[in-house]
Amino acid sequence: MRVIETVRELQSLADAERAAGRRIALVPTMGALHAGHVSLVDFARSRADRVWLSVFVNPTQFDEASDLARYPRTWASDLARCREARVDVVFAPSAAEMYPAGSQTWVEVAELTRGLCGASRPGHFRGVATVVSKLLAAAKPHVAVFGEKDFQQLAVIRRLARDLCFDVEIVGVPIVREADGLALSSRNANLDPEARRQAPCLARALEAAERAVAAGERRRTQLLELVANEIGKAPRAEIDYADLRDPDTLEAAGDPLAGPALLALAVRFRGRDGGSDVRLIDNRVLLPSPSSLRGSSTRRSGT
């Protein structure tokens, strides 16, 4: 396994691999690697000859300096995981390498970033879009692999790749969960024991909504009330947002639901004894059955 720290060296290697006819897959991460990241590496290997993983805690996507300072950094264990997962190259640039002195160029995706995480984290997606563009330019991959837990981020990256004509396939991989349903996240390490016990309320809320849709519920208000009630059972949890969106456009889903709908959640767990909050996200695409949608349409037209 090779560790590279400069853009120029990575670009040179990418040129050589491409000239040899080998496909490159890139897995961008901010480190603190867990089994979810390993699933991305495994998927990437099925799509390419070489798997490259980047480890870079991107300062421009943090809206709070304290959040950036608290983000877990586990370099030694990250390298060990990469070796075990048979990663070919780890790209680990410094902040100065990614943002040279005098940097003043930013990438912004307009409409897709207005709601959900974009509403409560101003500037976050500008930082994400900018650093991903830099990583794609540095690694020159044929395919880049991201987790579906950050559903809005994935939509933003797909849009920027199309709009900026990057010659790369952007692929999403399903969420990996703990046994109790909690989505794997590097931020889980910041949960104190009691907050960790309460954190699966996100998964339970998604499951409650999914069961309701399977039973025929299509009304937006009722579904979001179910979600709020489930999360409300966790005393330390505060909803940042809970919303139903079109999975493709991220615009508001129809009311009643007229097709697949993304149920997206962001929940803050209050810190204990004045400690910092931990914000977790999760999502699920709800899939009303075609037969029930036809039935509800028929009932509405007959009233």
What the block records as the tokens of 295 is: 């039935």
DSSP state of 252: B
Residues 6+ apart with CB under 8 A from 8: none
What is the widest separation between alpha-carbon atoms in the chain?
Answer: 68
Pairing of strands 278-286, 261-269: antiparallel
- CA pair distance 263, 131, nearest whole angstrom: 27
Q: What DSSP letter does each residue of 153-183 carry, written as one string? A: HHHHHHHHHHHTT-S-EEEEEPPPB-TTSPB
Cα separation, 288 vs 17, whole angstroms: 45
Comparing CA positions, the residue from 169, 173, 163, 172 lying closest to residue 143 is: 169
Give bridge partners of residue 242 from the DSSP assignment: 265
3-state SS class at 72:
coil
Nearest to 40, CA basis, from 55, 49, 28:
28
CB of 26 closer than 8 Å to CB of 48: no
Angle in degrees, 0-180, between the axes of helices 124-139 and 7-19, rounded to the nearest 10:
50
C-alpha closest to that of 158 among 116, 112, 126: 112
Is 34 annotated as catalytic? Answer: no
The three-state secondary structure class of 58 is: coil
Q: Of these residues, 34, 37, 124, 142, which one is catalytic? A: 37
> Can you tell me whether residue 264 is helix, strand or coil?
strand
Structure tokens at 260: 């697949």
Residues carrying an active site annotation: 37
